[in-house]
Structure 1
Amino acid sequence: MWNGLESAATVAQVVGLDVGGLISMIGQAARTARQNTKDCEHLARRVGMLAELVPRLQDPEARRALAGLDGALLEAHHLVMSCQRKGFTSQLFSASRMSERFRDVDRKIDTYLSIIPVISYIGIARRLDGNPSSRSQSLLEESGRAEDREFTLAEIVVATNNFAVVLSDDAESGTKVYKGKLHNGPEVAVKRLNRTRRGAEDAFFKEQQILSPLRHDHIVCLLGTCADDGERMLVTQYMPNGSLYDQLHGRSHLSSLSPVTASWKTRVQVLLGAARAVEHLHRHAMPLIIHGNVASSNILLDAAWAPRLSGFGASVWQAAGVTSQAVEVTAAASYGGYADPEYYSTGRIKPASDVYGLGVVMLEVLTGQPPVVSVWDEAKQDVVAMTLASFALPTIQAGMLGNVLDRRPAPQPTTWQQLQPLQLVANMAARCLCLHGDNRPAISDVIANLEQALCLI
C-alpha cells in the first residue's frame, strides 16, 4: 500500500498543504508500532486512502474544503508515534483513553474521506460547464473513479450492522447481498462472496475488473471493494425497489401497486433500459463485454424505477476477431429458464447469448410468469416444470398473445390498439429466442423495436 506514498510531494502541491510528508511518516510509524498495532494499521489504511484521493482534486476552490487536514494528520502521526514509546504498564492504564483517541482521529479522517468525492464531483462539473455535450458521461466516469474505494472489514461490518439485512441469497454460488449505509454517505448493497467456494478469488477480481470502469445510466455502479482479512466483497449502489423479478413474481410488499405491476408503459421502459445496458456492453465498453447472465433478477430498479443491469459474475470480455468464444458452461447457464441452447450445447458464448436472456425477460414482462412455470401434464397426470419459452412461444406464434398476457396492467380485455405495441414486443421476443444465435436480432434491433412499442403505448 505504501509504495505509492513517494508521491507525497504531489499531494502537498495539489492540496496546497504540507500533508505529503505526514502521510508518509504515518505509514512508516504504523509498520513499527509496538502497541495498539491493529488500531495503528487501520488508521494508516485510512490515511492511505487520502493519499490516493487527494491528488485527484484539480479545482483550487475544492482544495479549500480540506483546510485543517494537516492538523488531523499531525494528530494521527502523534498518536501512532505514541504507540512506539509507551511501555506495558503505561498502556494498561491508558488503554481506554487511547481507544477513544483513535476513534476521534478516525472520525476526523473519515470526514475528509467522505467529502473528497463530493468536492471532486463539483470540480468536474465546473470544468465541464463549457462543454455540455460531454458533461453527463464525463461526470459519471470521473466521479465514479473518485468514489471507488477499498473498504476495511471493520467498515463493512459497521455499514451493514454486522450483515443484518439480507437483500438476496444465491444458493448456487453461495454469495449473499446485504444492505448497508456508509458513514456520512449513501445506502449501498454489499455482495459477499463465499470464501470456501472454488474459484471465488478469481471470480471476485474478475467481476471487479469488469464492473469498475463501467459508467452507464442503466448499469449498476461499483463504489468500492473489500479484500480484508480473507473477505471478498463488492460495494455497489443500493436499489430500493429491488429487482424486476421481485416486482413481477417475488416479494408481495415490493410488487403491490408498483408501476411495474400496474403499467405496460413502465414495463416496456424497463425493458428498453436493460437493452440499452446490454448494447453498451456489446458496442461501447472498452473492452467489449458479454454479460453472460441477463435475467430479471439481475435487472435492479432504482428509486425512480429506472433499471440498472447487475450480476456480472459470469461476464467475459469479448475476444477480438471471433464470433464466439469457448467458456466453461456454468450452472447459471443452465439454470432457471434462461439457458441459451446454443451456448449450453457447444460451450461457446457470443453476444447473442445475452439477446436470448433478454428474450426470456421480455416474455416475463408480457406474461407476468416466472422463467420456469408449472403446468399440468395430461400424460403423466402430474404437475411438471416447463421453461417459459416453451410454454408461451407457441401461443404467441399462433397469434394468440391475449391468451398468455398478464392481466394486472389491464384487467379488462384489451383492444387491438392497446395490444399492438405488446404484439411488437412479443414478436421481437420470439426472434430473440431462436435456437441458433446467428438467427437472433442484434441488440440495436431490439432497442429500435422497444422504442417503437413505447411510442405506440
Structure 2
Amino acid sequence: MWDGMVANAAAVAQVAGVDPLGLISKIRQAALTARQNRRDCEHLARRAGMLAELLPCLRDPEAAGTLAGLGDTLAEAHDLVVSCQGRGRAHEFFTASSKAERFRDVERKIDSYLLLVPVISHIGIARRLDGGVAPPPPSSHSLRTQPDVGDKEFTLAEITAATSNFAVVLSDDGDSGTVYWGRLRDGQEVAVKRLKPGCRGAEDAFGTELAILAPLRHDHIVRLLGRCAEGAERVVVTAYASNGSLRDHLHGRRASSSSPVTASWEARVRALLGAGRAVEHLHRRAVPLVIHRGVTSSSVLLDAAWAPRLTGFVAAVWRAAGVESQPVEPVAGAAAGGYADPEYLRTGRVKPASDVYSLGVVMLEALTGNPAVVTVWEDGSKSMATMTLASFALPSIQAGRLVDVLDRRPVAAPTARQLQPLELVASAAARCLCLRGDNRPAISEVVANLEQALELICRHGHF
C-alpha cells in the first residue's frame, strides 16, 4: 500500500517542493524510539499517518497548490519528535511541559491539512468530470470562511449562546461526547456535538470526524456546518434532524401510533433505503472511500421531511488502498451493542462488509421492532437473559417464518401479498448477517433489494 501512496503523491511533491510521505515515514520511525513525551509523539505520528492515507487522492497538481507550507509543517513535526529521543531525566523534566504545547500547535497545523486535502481532491475530480472547467482551487483562507465546505469557525461564545449554555440534550454518545440542540443567530437549527473537554480520545475523534465529514455531500448523509476549537473545547456542528432517529421511532421515546415510522412499513423501508444509499456512497463514491464502523438505528436520523440522514462518524476510517481489510482499534462497547461484525471482533480487521453486517442488524430492527440486543425468558434457567437480535430473529427468518418475529404495529394481520416485500428485506438482512464477510452481499446489492421492496410496497398501495 505504501508503494502505491508514494507513486500517487508525486504531484504533491512537485507542487509542495517536498517529499511528504518520506517525511511522514521518518516521523513514524522516530516516534517508535521516543523517550520523552512518548504519548504525544505516538499521537502526532497517527495524525501524520491519517494525512498519508489522504495524499494519494490528490492527482491534480493545480489543486495541490493549496498545500503550500505542508513541507514546513511536516519538517517541524519530525524535528519535534526527534528532539524527544531523550537527553537525561533532568532535561526531560524541565522540557516536557513546554514541548506539550508545541505538540498541540503542530497537531493543529496537521489538522488543517486533514480538512483541506479531501476538499481540494473533490475539486480536482469535479474539474476532470466537467471537461477541465472548474472554479480555481480555494486558498486556505477561503476554505476557512466558506460555510459550504462545512469549515465555519464558531467561537465558544457563539456555541454557548446557540445552545442556551448547553441546555437541551439530544443524545449522549458516551465517551465521544454529548449532542445538544441549538439555534444559530440566523435562525437555523443545528445539532451541536460537544466532546469531553481534556479527553485525549476526544481530540482524535474531533479531527477524524471533521476530516471525514468535510468533503461528504450526499442527500442521506448529515451535513457538516462548522466547528469550534477553543481552549480545551472541541465542538462539531451539523444540520439538525428534527424527527429524531430511527431507533426513537422503532423502540424509543417517539414510538407511537402517531409516528409514520412506527405505523408504516413504507416509512421504515424508506429509512433503510436511505441508510443503505449513504453507506453505498461511502463505500463506492466518496473521495477517499470510507468505512463507517458505526451504522446503528441511532445513527439513522430523520429530518423535517422524514428523509433519512446517516450520522455517527466518530469511529469512521478511510479505506486503505489495495487491501481487502485493515487493522483498526476496536470501538468501545461494540461487542455489547449487538451491531458489531463478528469477523471484525475476532480478527481486529475491518472491511466494507463490516458496515453491511451492521446495516443488516438495523434491517432486523425495522422488521421486528426490537432493539439490537433483546431480553428473553430462558426456560432452562427460569430467568431472563440477553441475546443479540440476530441470534433471536434469524432462525425464524431462515425457516421461512418471518411472521413469528414481525412487528405487528404497522399491520396487525399481514396478508401474503403484504408479506412479499417484507420477506425481501428479511432475506437481504439474513445475507448481510453471514458470519464471514466474504459471504455477505455488496452494499449495492442490498440497496437494489431495498429498492425492489419499496417499489412493491408503493405498488400495492395498502400499507
| TM-score, length of structure 1 as denominator length | 0.67
Q: Work out the CA distance in 2 between the residues paired with 1:372 and 1:144.
A: 40
Equivalent position SS for 2:172: strand
Equivalent position SS for 2:233: coil
Counterpart of 2:239 in structure 1 is: 237
Counterpart of 1:434 in structure 2 is: 434
Q: What is the CA distance between 1:295 and its match in structure 2?
A: 0.3
| Kept in 2: contact 1:245–1:297 (CA 8 A) | yes
Q: Work out the CA distance in 2 between the residues paired with 1:199 and 1:229.
A: 16
1:384-429 deviation line (CA, Å, top 9, x unaligned): 0010000000011111001110011002x11111000000000000
| Kept in 1: contact 2:176–2:314 (CA 8 A) | no
User: Which one of the candidate residues 163, 167, 173 is aligned to 2:170?
Assistant: 167
Q: 1:147 to 1:434 in 2, by over 3 A?
A: closer
Counterpart of 2:423 in structure 1 is: 423
Equivalent position SS for 1:312: coil
Counterpart of 1:49 in structure 2 is: none
Higher relative contact order (CA 8 A, sep 6+): 2
Counterpart of 1:183 in structure 2 is: 185
Counterpart of 1:455 in structure 2 is: 455
Q: Work out the CA distance in 1 between the residues paired with 2:403 and 2:300.
A: 26
Identity %: 67
- Mapping 1:30-429, distance limit 5 Å: 145=148, 148-171=151-174, 173=175, 175-252=177-254, 255-411=256-412, 413-429=413-429
1:145-174 deviation line (CA, Å, top 9, x unaligned): 255301010000000000000000123x15
Q: Work out the CA distance in 1 between the residues paired with 2:360 and 2:385.
A: 23
Q: Work out the CA distance in 2 between the residues paired with 1:390 and 1:147.
A: 41
Q: Work out the CA distance in 2 between the residues paired with 1:151 and 1:332.
A: 31
Q: What is the CA distance between 1:144 and its match in structure 2?
A: 5.7
Counterpart of 2:93 in structure 1 is: none
Equivalent position SS for 1:314: coil
| Kept in 2: contact 1:144–1:215 (CA 8 A) | no
| Kept in 2: contact 1:293–1:332 (CA 8 A) | no
Equivalent position SS for 1:330: coil
Equivalent position SS for 1:322: coil
| Kept in 2: contact 1:174–1:197 (CA 8 A) | no
Coordinate RMSD, CA, aligned:
1.9
Equivalent position SS for 1:163: coil
Runs (5+) with no aligned partner, structure 2: 1-129, 134-142, 458-463
Q: 1:300 to 1:415 in 2, by over 3 A?
A: same
1:184-203 deviation line (CA, Å, top 9, x unaligned): 13100000111243421111
Q: How many pairs were matched up?
A: 317
| Kept in 1: contact 2:147–2:226 (CA 8 A) | no
Q: What is the CA distance between 1:257 and its match in structure 2?
A: 1.0
Q: Work out the CA distance in 1 between the residues paired with 2:316 and 2:363.
A: 21
Q: Work out the CA distance in 1 between the residues paired with 2:187 and 2:211.
A: 24
Equivalent position SS for 2:314: helix
Letter in structure 2 aligned against 1:163: F
Q: 1:143 to 1:430 in 2, by over 3 A?
A: farther
Q: 1:255 to 1:313 in 2, by over 3 A?
A: farther
Q: Work out the CA distance in 2 between the residues paired with 1:144 and 1:223.
A: 7
- Mapping 1:19-34, distance limit 5 Å: none
Runs (5+) with no aligned partner, structure 1: 1-130, 135-140
Q: Work out the CA distance in 1 between the residues paired with 2:150 and 2:257.
A: 34
Letter in structure 1 aligned against 2:452: Q
1:52-79 deviation line (CA, Å, top 9, x unaligned): xxxxxxxxxxxxxxxxxxxxxxxxxxxx
Equivalent position SS for 2:298: helix
4+ residue runs over 4 A deviation? 141-144
1:91-125 deviation line (CA, Å, top 9, x unaligned): xxxxxxxxxxxxxxxxxxxxxxxxxxxxxxxxxxx
Q: 1:144 to 1:158 in 2, by over 3 A?
A: closer
1:299-343 deviation line (CA, Å, top 9, x unaligned): 000011110000000100000000000001122432311011000
Q: What is the CA distance between 1:261 and its match in structure 2?
A: 0.7
| TM-score, length of structure 2 as denominator length | 0.66
Counterpart of 1:98 in structure 2 is: none
1:183-231 deviation line (CA, Å, top 9, x unaligned): 0131000001112434211110111000011110000000000001210
